[in-house]
Amino acid sequence: MKDSINVGLQERSYQIDFGPGIISDISESLAEINFSRKVALITNVTVNALHGERLLSLLAQAGFDVTLIAVKDGEEYKNLETLSFIYDELVKAGIDRSCGIIAFGGGVVGDMAGLGAATFMRGVDYVQVPTTLLSQVDSSVGGKTAVNHPSGKNLIGAFNQPRLVVIDTDYLQTLPAREFNAGMAEVVKYGVIRNSEFFDWLNHHYQDLRNLKAEALVHAIKTSCQIKADIVEIDEKESSLRAILNFGHTFGHAVESLTDYQRFLHGEAVAIGMVVAARVSQQLGYCEEADVARISDLLIKLDLPVEVPKFPLSEYLEAMMHDKKVADGKLKMVFNKGIGDCLISQLDYPEVEFKTILDEVKGR
């Protein structure tokens, strides 16, 4: 039942394994990469309560010496204080550079454990075992790790590729539906920017995905990871191409920031951002109105928001100009070319391009 793809990055290459129930084979998978038998299992209290015991016992039965480190659950704990707690626990457990770290949870745990692995004793090998849809299709792949700073998200981080990613789709059985749908926004993103056949497939199979049908989940997650892996192989450190993964994120981040990160999950804000990006793309002649409608309709079918929250244009523009992606005071954005292709371009007159869209909102 196990399916795999490879992320080819010379000496930093690694495999991503997919399938329902594949966590049962974790010890064999770790042995295949000669992973240390002394490991720290970093998770959060929620994932630990649901799935920690099973993973601990699988590892213990196979003779691994495991120290469990469970952090508090929430984006608000993705900070230097929690990272410092992780360092303390790693020291207490006697972890050194010959040991390993397993990141077990959603994107918050994965990003934080990955940064811990990059920095503790100047680097410890780590493996990602992602348990949310977002982390299975996005954050566990590609090596971006980070914690937040009070002045911005993911400001303190490092590129640090894992040695292996183990994606057991059965973990999604316990994921709240809202979190699942938010992860689907990133899946739709891959279809829009890179693969129109996949976008069509999602339109036909979104119900199977929502019903957690294993075959459909594996196909969607594997295709998403393959698209991301292909991009990361070309541009690991986001000097050019990798930035296309930010489709919908420029406006999405502004939505998150204007709503104080309280009203929308990240994927929900990205859904709104993708529809706005598609509308701007249409205004600039990169796609048709029908493409915007198809993107919006699929997101609606996935119970994702597509309505732009009412804030003045000036506030949106200011929030977008604070984005990490702004270079030399110029806003760069990803535009979809039809469905299945995209381009990155500077937006010279954002106040004009976004005005029409926000005027439509005001008029409703």
Residues that bind ligand NAD (CB under 6 A): 44, 46-47, 50, 73, 75, 78, 105-109, 111, 131-132, 134-135, 138-139, 142, 144, 153-154, 171, 174-175, 179, 266
- How far apart CA 354 and CA 17 sit, in angstroms, is 41
- The nearest distance, CB 351 to ligand NAD, in angstroms, is 28
- 140's tokens: 């566990």
Q: By CB under 6 A, is residue 111 in contact with ligand GLY? A: no
The strand pair at 164-168 and 125-130 is best described as parallel
- How far apart CA 224 and CA 134 sit, in angstroms, is 10
54 catalytic? Reply is: no
204 catalytic? Reply is: no
Chain length of the chain: 364
DSSP 223-291: HHHHHHHHHHHH-TT-SSGGGGGGTTHHHHHHHHHHTTTTSS-HHHHHHHHHHHHHHHHHHTTSS-HHH
- The nearest distance, CB 65 to ligand NAD, in angstroms, is 25
160 catalytic? Reply is: no
238 catalytic? Reply is: yes
- The nearest distance, CB 138 to ligand GLY, in angstroms, is 5
Q: Count CB neighbours of 59 within 10 A.
A: 20
Taking the least distance from each CB to ligand NAD, the nearer of 175 and 217 is 175
Taking the least distance from each CB to ligand NAD, the nearer of 125 and 168 is 168
**Closest to 321 (Cα-Cα) out of 250, 248, 243:** 250
Taking the least distance from each CB to ligand GLY, the nearer of 238 and 256 is 238
- The nearest distance, CB 67 to ligand GLY, in angstroms, is 29
144 catalytic? Reply is: yes
- How far apart CA 271 and CA 276 sit, in angstroms, is 9
Q: By CB under 6 A, is residue 138 in contact with ligand GLY? A: yes
242 catalytic? Reply is: yes
- How far apart CA 89 and CA 15 sit, in angstroms, is 28
- Contact between 18 and 3 under an 8 Å Cβ cutoff? The reply is yes
- The nearest distance, CB 114 to ligand GLY, in angstroms, is 12
Taking the least distance from each CB to ligand NAD, the nearer of 45 and 284 is 45
51 catalytic? Reply is: no
Taking the least distance from each CB to ligand GLY, the nearer of 239 and 262 is 239
Which residues of this chain interact with ligand GLY, rule CB under 6 A?
Answer: 138, 142, 144, 238, 242, 245
Active site amino acids: 122, 144, 186, 228, 238, 242, 246, 249, 253, 266
